[in-house]
Amino acid sequence: MNIRHIAKEAGVSVATVSRVLNHPESVAPATREKIERIMAETEYIPNWFARGLNFNKTATIGLVIPHILNSENMEIVKGAEDVAHQKDYTSLLCNVENDVAKEKKYIDNLIKRRVDGILLISSLLSEKDILNIVDQGIPVVHIGEVTWENKLPVVSIDSKDAAYKATRHLLECEKKRIGVLYGTTPAVENGRKVKGYEKALKEAKISVNDSYKIQVEDNIEGGYLGARKFLDMSEPPDAIFATSDLIAFGVMDAMKDNRISVPDQVSVVGFGNIRMSNLVEPKLTTIEKPLHKMGVVGARLLFDLIEGKEDDGSGMKNIQLQSKLKIRKSCGHKERIGEMF
């Protein structure tokens, strides 16, 4: 059953049926009720995608994420989805698995599907690739730090400052040999986290030991293998700053397997404050990244663009949200009062 069959059954034109679907107030009540009754009896389902094309809207957005197995990404997606649901929009989730070629292919498919906007999370695309999307008239918002500015709206935190605070906390816990395990992606954010770590050490007049800086895969396995490399050293670190909670979990697992006490022998700090960080034992001291809020704010910016709302005249919107240190037991904190600050 299609719109032509409905028109024939009701004895009206296809245009009249179309007006009932799109502008029912413009059709005489008796005619409208007759057409709606036939639709109900035949269980007719309109082709909303085709209908959307007629209005240059499809009520869909693309959510492009680095990896679906990373809990940080999924908490951001949850925030964005909450906003999309309120707007009665459908979200198309694209998992690029940290592969720039795959991300480009997904973007191309989203454009062909006429999505109304695209939300990029820690994108691997170059500035040129980003501008190519924008030049096609598709609203784009990026969540995560970037090297280019004022090209499109960006929602982020100050990763360098957050890493500085995490390292400072370890120094305040009287740790001197602090190692860092940093992930491969997203490269910009991890690079800034390492800079923050180095800044804290230099301020404390502690030399930066390059052997204490190890790049690992941003997952539990990466953290485990990185921690094992530290343990093989003649003088291993007495504290480890991990640039993600997943890496930190791997560190804690490696310490457990080697019968090394956290925090009595080695302190551990993570980054992200994903849900599991408060469930592991000892509970993980970590940087709280406002993941859900980042998704909400990013989606709201995207819908402002989709709906053509004017900005406040200040130019491109770059919103930097606040992170904070959640002090728990993995650094030797005996109480949990630090979680409230």
**Does residue 54 surpass a pLDDT of 90?**
no
Averaged confidence pLDDT in the chain? 90
pLDDT mean over 64-68 = 95
pLDDT of residue 55: 55
For the chain, list the strands marked E by DSSP.
60-65, 90-95, 117-121, 140-143, 154-156, 178-183, 213-216, 239-242, 267-272, 285-288, 318-320, 324-326
pLDDT at residue 313 is higher than 50: no
Domains and CATH numbers, the chain: 3-46 (no CATH), 60-157+292-309 (3.40.50.2300), 159-288+324-340 (3.40.50.2300)
Give the C-alpha separation, 121 to 143, whole Å: 5
Mean pLDDT for 142-155 is 87
Distance CA 246, CA 193 (A): 15
Q: What confidence score (pLDDT) does residue 25 get? A: 81
Judged by average pLDDT, the poorest of 44-53, 90-99, 195-204, 327-336 is 44-53
- What are the pLDDT digits (tens) for 212-238? 999 999 999 999 999 999 999 999 999
In this prediction, residue 333 has a pLDDT band, given cuts at 50, 70 and 90, of low
Q: Please, which pLDDT band fits residue 134 given cuts at 50, 70 and 90?
A: confident
pTM: 0.81
**Alpha-carbon gap, residue 337 to 187, rounded angstroms:** 33
41-45, 166-170, 173-177, 289-293: range with lowest mean pLDDT: 41-45
Between 77-86, 99-108, 189-198, 310-319, the lowest mean confidence (pLDDT) is in: 310-319
